[in-house]
Amino acid sequence: MRSFEVKNRTLAEDIKALRLITAIKTPYLPDGRFDLEAYDALVNMQIGDGVEGVIVGGTTGEGQLMSWDEHIMLIGHTVNCFGSSIKVIGNTGSNSTREAIHATEQGFAVGMHAALHINPYYGKTSVEGMVSHFEHVLPMGPTIIYNVPSRTGQDIPPGVIHTLAQSPNLAGVKECVGHARVVQYTENGVVVWSGNDDECHDSRWDHGATGVISVASNLVPGLMHLLMFGGKNPSLNSKLLPLIDWLFKEPNPIGLNTALAQLGVVRPVFRLPYVPLPRPKRVEFVNLVKEIGREHFVGEKDVQVLDDDEFILIGRY
Amino acid sequence: MRSFEVKNRTLAEDIKALRLITAIKTPYLPDGRFDLEAYDALVNMQIGDGVEGVIVGGTTGEGQLMSWDEHIMLIGHTVNCFGSSIKVIGNTGSNSTREAIHATEQGFAVGMHAALHINPYYGKTSVEGMVSHFEHVLPMGPTIIYNVPSRTGQDIPPGVIHTLAQSPNLAGVKECVGHARVVQYTENGVVVWSGNDDECHDSRWDHGATGVISVASNLVPGLMHLLMFGGKNPSLNSKLLPLIDWLFKEPNPIGLNTALAQLGVVRPVFRLPYVPLPRPKRVEFVNLVKEIGREHFVGEKDVQVLDDDEFILIGRY
Amino acid sequence: MRSFEVKNRTLAEDIKALRLITAIKTPYLPDGRFDLEAYDALVNMQIGDGVEGVIVGGTTGEGQLMSWDEHIMLIGHTVNCFGSSIKVIGNTGSNSTREAIHATEQGFAVGMHAALHINPYYGKTSVEGMVSHFEHVLPMGPTIIYNVPSRTGQDIPPGVIHTLAQSPNLAGVKECVGHARVVQYTENGVVVWSGNDDECHDSRWDHGATGVISVASNLVPGLMHLLMFGGKNPSLNSKLLPLIDWLFKEPNPIGLNTALAQLGVVRPVFRLPYVPLPRPKRVEFVNLVKEIGREHFVGEKDVQVLDDDEFILIGRY
Amino acid sequence: MRSFEVKNRTLAEDIKALRLITAIKTPYLPDGRFDLEAYDALVNMQIGDGVEGVIVGGTTGEGQLMSWDEHIMLIGHTVNCFGSSIKVIGNTGSNSTREAIHATEQGFAVGMHAALHINPYYGKTSVEGMVSHFEHVLPMGPTIIYNVPSRTGQDIPPGVIHTLAQSPNLAGVKECVGHARVVQYTENGVVVWSGNDDECHDSRWDHGATGVISVASNLVPGLMHLLMFGGKNPSLNSKLLPLIDWLFKEPNPIGLNTALAQLGVVRPVFRLPYVPLPRPKRVEFVNLVKEIGREHFVGEKDVQVLDDDEFILIGRY
């Protein structure tokens, strides 16, 4: 189900060159559907501050809470509105090979520039199964493999990546396992994006990583851009660490969702099983914004502490 | 779930100006999935010969045989690859109001320029129900209403159209009921596209229709362009009528599917319940091509009579 | 995907013997989901008054407004709760052969006793296509074919039925075209159920029909039982005709939905595109109930005229 | 969307009493659809050897590779054919609260006796989110909570279970974390099933567990029955441990799928990302069968070592 139209020809090289990719938040309307106006505004803020790519429907964007038709629609929407300004990387991975194949085919058909693929989480499989899974989707287009054992329950061994690297479509790895693993790849010519905001500065400047696939850049895209492009900058890194630490106190995107709602950039609507951080943490966030400087954060409104009853939590949507 | 990005702002006026719209065929791979290469080629032929818009997943394009995710994907794909050259009109209508709402929202989100909406076929409803159905989707963007009682089992009374015409989003009507009905609209300022290839010349030049939403233009886009743009031309019309007659001997798109396969433009793959025309009709088509001139038809290959066993009929896909 | 468990072995003969089958209404909760309590009560009323089978998700039950998972769930639910008291016939037909195959396979897997199949409405097809469509589902189990050209836009020619009758799975035909057609089948050994409540008495007693697949029996199951089992009864038939006439003033199930809501048997919730009958018609219904006798109608509450604002119309569910 | 029919009234007490529950394998046809004949045979073997309940579409049954409609269909099918002989527990859990709500509602509607629920794997959430997730499904019927951090990436803290235990619907916990955790529950009146075949004997006889939700019982249901019902039996336990060890060398159900295929009980068809164990492991299995005794294993055929090319691996289905 290939298309050879010019618009559907992105090279893995174009993806390999990206240093700052945001795992973009998906905002919701009060009934749980996507809030495309807020989404568009958010993507425009990313573009305006130098972000080069977005992961659509990643774990941060809550792809796991989307139906596939919503997911592919959001990829298609992003391509249509922003595809000439930013690279659109669809998280079309799944723990089901069938779903990964179907979604990846559809994602490339609607014009995404690259796919993000996870190893089969939860169900898991053998190393042979993992390789077979990836080999079913890799021929479809530029691909980033995502390794995050703390979510998947299973590490992708480097051998798997080196096998896949024989395909010209392997753009690189989003790696969360730490510097030693990063080096293991970068010394062997495999492009790496740090999947940990707290490590990305060092990964980039000390361990050969190309850049970061970031959660924090949803909030402070300009500062993350400086961190990735502006040369080694431990003081900026130190300044950001408390924010990053706050963001990941609970499983992501709980912190991010809470933060963007308090910045007035998205409505305070959560699709369950996500719930906002408790009030003391919400107060902490306002203080962090003041310390770092409101002007570095997305949005124009004053940051505020939202009350419990201002949040809408949705189970059916 | 609105987006206000420039790319998602098409005016009904832009749709009203279109004279030649093709209800584009959806080609298939041998396993029943979409053949996007063939599809892209087909759309490019349309663009090359002056077609101004395509209906994606109409009854001709077999939207009724698509899952909604396939359907929206095909709309998104068409927008992405061809949206700057041709207007993309998604057939996001349904006999279920829920499905029509959902699909139309998604179609506009991925950038379609207009929606085509049918009255609730098969299940049918009252006039009040019909109006309510359309009023749930009309606010989403430019809309063409499609009236084809021979398929739906129920005529859309002109009163319904006049009610809907109060919305700035009503671009017009695709009307299959005949000249008298066409005139009833065009004399009252409602834009009409003929939905009958055999009547479109007269509708256009004698009865005020703006143009045609055509099946035949899949095959002879250049001649259909001449018919709509080149002034009154009864001799061209007469020349085309035998082809049009042949096309509709069996319910559309049976004839079209058979024709395009024999022109070598699509693989001879049918999703059931469609089956190819019988061999004598296939021979007739080859003769029609020769009479009209192969050069007026899409594709470069010689037209041929396919054998029964060259067709692939698919029930599970 | 066969199962040979005893519970999944229904013979076509068991279906052929049924005289009174109700095309059962699907009641809704205020948010548009199924109201299973009301549904169960309704089915129990049917069983209590001698109805022998139910069509689940027919056009009366608004299968056209269900997602397939809802539809199969409702079939499975009905089998589980009532399958030992009443025959469960799932309307797993579709104008898409793929969907018909998939739904029929699933319906038999969850234990339905027979399938109801429609010819491909709206999209339509050739006679050859129609036969091929039915032949893909007929081997799965006992099957009733449904002919209703006023909905489908296309008559099923008797030749198609005679071809299909070679399969031991063809239980018979639900025919809406009139007495002449009924006779054409019954004289040739094909079982017929009338699909028209206003004709069923004569079809049954004068033209050889086995019985009826009824809408009116949702309301007056006991009287419909008498009409089918109690011998020729023109006076009862005449007594019922005004009710039947009222029921079909607008496309079914608009009348039925309005009636059951006013009888207090279902909540006044409509899935669009259905809307309630206007108030004057609602008053008429109350009078009809009084004339025929409240005791013959389902439910225990007083019949009442509902106000416009008591109805809930739902587009998203 | 409740039903109060007798058939839909299972008490949590009925579930709490079960000692041997099999996480039943889902067998496939060569095209990847369910092989219901093989499934029915497998369930009958379980019933015949004293198994009291089945988990339908658990991780062992590859619920993660099913579409929800397949999943609910399989639950409905199992209820219909076997629901009077065995308790049917549907794995209607999901990492998406929406999906868990929808599937659980449907599962109970088609008659499942209890639901199995997992905490949100992969996406994960906070403890508050976890509780909220479970509280959305617990009111629907008897529920077993499943804790398997090695798959989910997140332990369910005992505090969560104690909170949920206030609901009369909490039947108990399928716990994989070890004896200390088991004791923590059983001493506090929470029913526990071991989720680890290698620990279940000791959990049952030394640590107060009620029984096991077993993978091995797919293969040796009679021996597992003896292990759970026949009194403390360390020698039987020791005899089984090499088999259990073999089963879990690679992520379950890779071993089980390979074993059942070699026993001739299911076709050697794998839905990816699962692939068979390599040949040396397949030889080991045949030896294990001989050591334990072919007569203790399901099926009647000779156990055999399958060749690589006898396995069918399927990505699209």
pTM of the model: 0.98
Q: Do C7 and D110 touch (CB under 8 A)?
A: no
Do C297 and C285 touch, CB atoms closer than 8 A? no
Mean pLDDT of A278-301: 98
Where residue C108 falls among pLDDT bands split at 50, 70, 90? very high
Token representation of residue C269? 């919730």
Do A265 and D90 touch, CB atoms closer than 8 A? no
Using CA coordinates, name the residue in chain C closest to D4.
C37
Do B88 and B118 touch, CB atoms closer than 8 A? no
How many angstroms separate the first and last alpha carbons of chain B? Answer: 31
- Phi/psi for B38 (5° steps) reads -65, -40
Chain C contacts of D5, Cβ < 8 Å? 40, 81-82
- Hey, which residues of B are catalytic here? 146, 174
pLDDT higher than 90, residue D70: yes
Per-residue pLDDT of B219-230, as tens digits, reads 999 999 999 999
In angstroms, the CA D155 to CA D142 distance is 22
Q: Do B132 and C275 touch (CB under 8 A)?
A: yes
- Closest Cβ opposite residue C5 in set D70, D72, D81: D81
Per-residue pLDDT of D258-311, as tens digits, reads 999 999 999 999 999 999 999 999 999 999 999 999 999 999 999 999 999 999
Mean pLDDT of C260-271: 98
Residues 6+ apart with CB under 8 A from C166: none
Token representation of residue A73? 């629609």
pLDDT higher than 90, residue C1: no
Helix/strand/coil for C211: strand
From A109's Cα to the closest Cα of chain B, the distance in A is 5
Do C167 and C138 touch, CB atoms closer than 8 A? yes
In angstroms, the CA C232 to CA D251 distance is 69
Residues 6+ apart with CB under 8 A from C152: B122, B153, C118, C119, C120, C121, C122, C124
Which residue bears the tokens 């030394």?
A: D206
Measured CA angle at C171 (ends C248, C4), to 5 deg: 125
Tell me the residues of C at the B interface, defined by beta carbons under 8 Å apart. 59, 62, 64-65, 95-98, 101-102, 120-126, 128-130, 132-133, 136, 149-154, 250-251, 254, 271-275, 277-278, 313, 315-317
Chain C contacts of B98, Cβ < 8 Å? 65, 271-272, 315-317
From B286's Cα to the closest Cα of chain C, the distance in A is 21
Task: With residue D312 as reference, give the H or E element that holds it.
Answer: strand D312-314
- Closest Cβ opposite residue D254 in set A65, A126, A274: A126
Residues 6+ apart with CB under 8 A from A84: none
What is the pLDDT at residue D2?
86
- Of D67, D70, D124, D271, which to mutate for an interface test with A (greatest number of A Cβ within 10 Å)? D124
For chain B, the chains sharing at least 3 beta-carbon pairs closer than 8 angstroms are: A, C
Residues above pLDDT 90, as percent of chain A = 98
In angstroms, the CA B283 to CA B295 distance is 18
- The verdict on whether D25 is a catalytic residue reads no
Q: Which residues pair with D194 in a beta bridge?
A: D175, D212
The overall average pLDDT reported for chain A is 97
What is the pLDDT at residue A90?
98
In angstroms, the CA A258 to CA A275 distance is 9
Tell me the residues of D at the C interface, defined by beta carbons under 8 Å apart. 1-5, 7-8, 29, 33-37, 39-40, 68-70, 72-74, 76-77, 79-83, 105-106, 109-111
Q: What is the 3-state secondary structure (H, E, C) of A70-103?
A: HHHHHHHHHHHHHCCCCEEEECCCCCCHHHHHHH
What is the pLDDT at residue A76?
98
Residues above pLDDT 70, as percent of chain C = 100
What is the pLDDT at residue C237?
98
Using CA coordinates, name the residue in chain B closest to C66.
B96
Q: How many CB atoms lie within 10 A of CB D308?
A: 9
Q: What is the dihedral of CA C166, C169, C171, C176, to 10 degrees?
A: -70
Token representation of residue C41? 């009560």
- Closest Cβ opposite residue C126 in set B59, B254, B316: B254
Per-residue pLDDT of D81-99, as tens digits, reads 999 999 999 999 999 999 9
pLDDT higher than 90, residue A306: yes
- Of D106, D267, D269, D317, which to mutate for an interface test with C (greatest number of C Cβ within 10 Å)? D106
Q: Do C1 and D69 touch (CB under 8 A)?
A: no
Using CA coordinates, name the residue in chain A closest to D133.
A273
From B101's Cα to the closest Cα of chain A, the distance in A is 13
The overall average pLDDT reported for chain B is 97
In angstroms, the CA B183 to CA D148 distance is 70
What is the pLDDT at residue D107?
98
What is the pLDDT at residue B170?
98
Question: Rg of chain B over CA atoms, in angstroms?
Answer: 18
Chain C contacts of D33, Cβ < 8 Å? 1, 105
Q: Do A97 and D64 touch (CB under 8 A)?
A: no
The overall average pLDDT reported for chain D is 98
Chain B contacts of A108, Cβ < 8 Å? none
Tell me the residues of C at the D interface, defined by beta carbons under 8 Å apart. 1-5, 7-8, 29, 33-37, 39-40, 68-70, 72-74, 76-77, 79-83, 105-106, 109-111
Using CA coordinates, name the residue in chain A closest to B31.
A1
- Hey, which residues of C are catalytic here? 146, 174
Token representation of residue D288? 């294990």
- Phi/psi for A226 (5° steps) reads -60, -40
What is the pLDDT at residue D272?
98
Where residue C89 falls among pLDDT bands split at 50, 70, 90? very high
Strand bridging mode B269-271 / B312-314: parallel
Q: Which residues pair with B193 in a beta bridge?
A: B174, B211
Stated length of chain A: 317
Where residue D6 falls among pLDDT bands split at 50, 70, 90? confident
Q: What is the dihedral of CA C288, C294, C300, C305, to 10 degrees?
A: 30
Mean pLDDT of A108-134: 98
pLDDT higher than 90, residue A6: no
Where residue B7 falls among pLDDT bands split at 50, 70, 90? confident
In angstroms, the CA C3 to CA C79 distance is 15
What is the pLDDT at residue A8?
84
pLDDT higher than 90, residue A291: yes
In angstroms, the CA A175 to CA A150 distance is 12
| Cα-based distances in Å from D157 to C37, D91, D163 | 37, 21, 10
Strands (E), C7-56: 20-23, 53-56
What is the pLDDT at residue D302?
98
Do C27 and C258 touch, CB atoms closer than 8 A? no
- Phi/psi for D9 (5° steps) reads -110, 85
Per-residue pLDDT of C243-258, as tens digits, reads 999 999 999 999 999 9
Where residue C9 falls among pLDDT bands split at 50, 70, 90? confident
Q: Of the candidates A258, A310, A251, which has an alpha carbon nearest to the alpha carbon of residue A284? A: A258
Q: Of the candidates A134, A79, A159, A111, which has an alpha carbon nearest to the alpha carbon of residue A10? A: A111
The single residue of D28, D39, D87, D146 carrying the catalytic annotation is: D146
- Of C275, C308, C312, C314, which to mutate for an interface test with B (greatest number of B Cβ within 10 Å)? C275
Per-residue pLDDT of D7-45, as tens digits, reads 888 999 999 999 999 999 999 999 999 999 999 999 999
What is the pLDDT at residue D306?
98
**Torsional sign, CA D149, D153, D158, D163:** negative
Q: Do A133 and D272 touch (CB under 8 A)?
A: yes
Question: Rg of chain A over CA atoms, in angstroms?
Answer: 18
Q: What is the largest CA-CA distance in chain C?
A: 53
